[in-house]
Amino acid sequence: MGRKLRISKKTVKTGLILIILGFIAVYILNTDFSAIKKELLTIGYRFIYILGVTFLAYFFGTWSWYVCLAEDRKKISLMKMFAVRQIGETVGQYNPTSIVGGDLLKAEMLKPYGISTEVALSSVATSRITVVLSQILLFLIACLWLSGMEAGQAALKSIGVAFYVFISFLILLNLVFFYWLIFSRSSSKPENSEDIDGFWKKLRSKVLQLIFNIRKSYRFNPRLFWYSYLLAGIHWIIGSLEFYLILLFLGFDVEPMHGLLLDMGVIVFKSAGAFVPGQLGVEELGNKMMLQIIGISASSIWISASILRRARQLFWIAVGFILYLFVKKDSTQSSTLKNGNIIC
């Protein structure tokens, strides 16, 4: 029976890996490499600046997650966490389950370093929340800035009341979450999912357990939550410089705030199409719509920007594969060492 279960788990794991690799293959096959080559030749060595900016953004994103581990972060270095995060984000982007699958993989990959499942899942969930909340704040700031621009006012007028309903919803969401986190009374610990029968009941129990752990970790050390929130905000601000640099290299006189507005807006589109592996077509549509809002309507520009962003994504996919080989090797060595210590 146990053997059958192990085979079943291995089969499922292999199947999931093949699905993810299949979606990455589809993404790559839908990439026009001749167009990428043309755009890279246009901006030349300056493409390194785009890669440098995204590396810094990913680094601060990792740091934001790293502090959520609290005392357990002593068990793993920041750069190893960077590798784990990069692998998880790659899987999340090219996975039908989106960020859920990627975040669960991150938690799983922390186990060989002696970090418990509960702590790993709690850190991943807390980090994801600080990332989302900081993103909402920056999006609201960008929209406020947009409303002060002539082109922005015209764009907002064309969108109509739907825009203000959406903004009101985001503000309310922020307020409700922070009230729940800071002021609501602590609830009793949910029942262990292992003692519950039924898939949906177990899933509900696990979600409640995760929510309980997030609030518990905040109450225990709120400073770490806000530290993570700050680093997540820096992560988004640095990441938005990619759009700013691309438009600058294409000859447009833009400000860093343009980059922030574009990046935050495109992420809204990508979130809506998160179920689409790699957000094929969704991100390109978001690029086009957001560029039009700031008054750049030439099709050649949004196509060029989309191609350059696609080139950056392909680079980090390759990096993700390379890092996976190193992390897997490191995890195997850590497990072997631990087993050796137990024997001793």
**Full DSSP string of 203-244:** HHHHHHHHHHHHHHHHHH-HHHHHHHHHHHHHHHHHHHHHHH
Task: Find the mean pLDDT for residues 251-261.
Answer: 87
- Model pLDDT, residue 234: 96
Distance CA 97, CA 103 (A): 10
pLDDT tops 80 at residue 210:
no
Confidence of residue 282 (pLDDT cuts 50, 70, 90): confident
* pLDDT of 195 over the 60 cut: no
Residue 151 pLDDT grade (very low, low, confident, very high; cuts 50, 70, 90) = low
What values do phi and psi take at 97, rounded to 5?
Answer: -85, 0
Give the global pTM: 0.80
* Spatial contact of 294 and 262, defined as CB atoms under 8 Å apart: yes
Based on its alpha-carbon atoms, the radius of gyration of the chain, rounded to whole angstroms, reads: 22
Question: In angstroms, rounded to a whole number, what is the distance separating the alpha carbons of residues 124 and 119?
Answer: 9
The answer for residues whose C-beta is within 8 angstroms of residue 151's C-beta and 6 or more apart is 293, 294, 295
| Average pLDDT rounded to a whole number, residues 263-290 | 74
Q: How confident is the model at residue 327 (pLDDT cuts 50, 70, 90)?
A: confident
pLDDT for res 125: 86
pLDDT digits (tens, 9 = 90+) for 57-73: 999 999 999 999 988 98
Residue 214 and residue 225: Cα distance in Å, rounded?
A: 10
> Is there a contact between 267 and 142 (Cβ–Cβ < 8 Å)?
no
Which has the closest alpha carbon to 265: 245, 243, 248, 249? Answer: 243
Across residues 199-208, what is the average pLDDT? 65
Structure confidence by residue, pLDDT tens digits, 156-166: 777 777 778 88
Residue 344 is predicted with a pLDDT of: 31
Q: What is the pLDDT of residues 163-192, one digit of tens each?
A: 788 888 888 988 888 888 887 765 556 555
pLDDT at 334: 57
CA distance 127 to 306: 28
- CB of 118 within 8 A of CB of 213? yes
pLDDT at position 152: 66
Distance CA 217, CA 211 (A): 10
